[in-house]
Amino acid sequence: MEMVTNTSTQTQNKRQVPELSLRDFTHGTKEQRQKFIDDFFLGLKDYGFINLRDHGIDTALFKKAYELSEKFFSLPTETKKKYSGIQGGARGYTPFGQEHAKDSPVKDLKEFWHVGRDPIANDPHSGYFIPNVWPEEVAGFRDIFEKMYNDLDKMGFELLKALTYPLEVPEDYFDKLAGNGNSILRLLHYPPIPEGEDPRCIRAAAHEDINLITFLVGATASGLQIKDRDGQWLDVDTAPHLITVDSGDMLARITNDVIPATTHRVVNPIGPNTSRYSMPFFMHPHPEAILECIPSCRGAGEKYPPIREHDYLMQRLREIGLIK
């Protein structure tokens, strides 16, 4: 296998990922609202990704979050490892090279930090959640990332509601499926490529996200590529005010692949060998949710048997090397 790098020959296709305004759905006219619903559904089906503007989250929050993320990852490795090994990386720090894409023989070239949902008093699913940990070495880290988690979670439910109409499910379908869900905010650092690294390794090998839907808050450098439904790799470089949205395995499963999971990767730089930072928010159902085919998506028959969210998540985490 040859090293994959970010070259212009990777993306001969000039198609552009659709850019939509969430305000058209939440505060638009009847016509704007319907157009958003149609374009969002078709964007996920045709490309697997859309870029979202007017999402209601202050971009100053994103800027501060990236500053704090960079401060954390610049700490000594031994300091960062104080926060590792928490339930397979469900919270806190996962060291460089530990995760790999499903079926990949080599590691990904990244390290990351997870923020999840804290246990909620009297919530029936709280037994699945563990408290977050916070690095005492980075002032303001907890406040910024708790707010970012909550803001993205809230936005996610507004966005998912737009899918209920083409999928022919009640408006509260995703509220019930993902309310107090097992969602994760991941702070990612792709360090400079180490000298002598296995040439088969790239920053993130081609993969699909495990969850329902993912929100990617910009990035500090290029490298993200998506494979559209025609099999073409497209570069995804977004402005700081945009959020990139992609469909995951769990959404593909409940829609019987009407909305397939989106294959994407992060390739190695061909210019300066510098760090790259990014922040995906993985929106999950709650752990006891049953992932089963939506009736309007059955077509010639269900491809996947029903499965509990927690069981499916554990299966997939084993496949990427985070738990045994």
Establish if 313 belongs to a structural domain.
yes
Give the span between the Cα atoms of 232 and 230, in whole angstroms.
6
Picking from 253, 246, 240, the residue whose alpha carbon sits closest to that of residue 308 is 253
How many domains does the structure of the chain reveal? 1
**Other Cβ atoms closer than 10 A to 29:** 9
Query: For residue 279, what are the CA distances in angstroms to 68, 174, 222, 266, 302?
Result: 12, 23, 13, 13, 34
For the stretch 117-133, pLDDT in tens is 999 888 888 788 999 99
Establish if 309 belongs to a structural domain.
yes
For the stretch 212-262, pLDDT in tens is 999 998 777 778 888 877 888 888 877 888 999 999 999 999 999 999 998
Establish if 226 belongs to a structural domain.
yes
Show the tokens assigned to 82: 């104080």
Show the tokens assigned to 242: 């945009």
- Amino acid 299: pLDDT: 92
The residues, ordered by sequence, that sit 6+ positions from 225 with a Cβ below 8 Å of its Cβ are 6, 10, 11, 233, 234, 235, 236, 264, 265, 266, 267
Establish if 15 belongs to a structural domain.
no
Establish if 113 belongs to a structural domain.
yes
Specify the pairing of strand 49-53 against strand 19-21. parallel
Residue 310 exposed, middle or buried by CB count within 10 Å (0-12, 13-18, 19+): middle
Contact 118, 132 (CB under 8 A): yes
Across the chain, what does the average pLDDT equal? 89
Show the tokens assigned to 253: 């499963």
Establish if 25 belongs to a structural domain.
no
- Hey, which bits of the chain come out as E strands? 19-21, 49-53, 92-94, 111-115, 184-190, 204-207, 213-219, 224-227, 233-235, 243-247, 264-266, 276-283, 290-291, 307-308
For the stretch 146-165, pLDDT in tens is 999 999 999 999 999 999 99
Is the pTM of the predicted complex or chain greater than 0.85? yes
What is the 8-class DSSP label of residue 5? B
- Amino acid 104: pLDDT: 79
Handedness of CA 34, 158, 263, 74 (dihedral sign): positive
The residues, ordered by sequence, that sit 6+ positions from 28 with a Cβ below 8 Å of its Cβ are 21, 36
Give the span between the Cα atoms of 218 and 132, in whole angstroms.
24
Handedness of CA 115, 310, 51, 5 (dihedral sign): positive
Establish if 9 belongs to a structural domain.
no
Structural domain span for residue 225: 30-319
Establish if 46 belongs to a structural domain.
yes
Picking from 178, 214, 160, the residue whose alpha carbon sits closest to that of residue 36 is 160
Give the span between the Cα atoms of 72 and 285, in whole angstroms.
29
CATH label of the domain that carries residue 300: 2.60.120.330
Reply yes or no on whether the pLDDT at 13 is more than 50. no
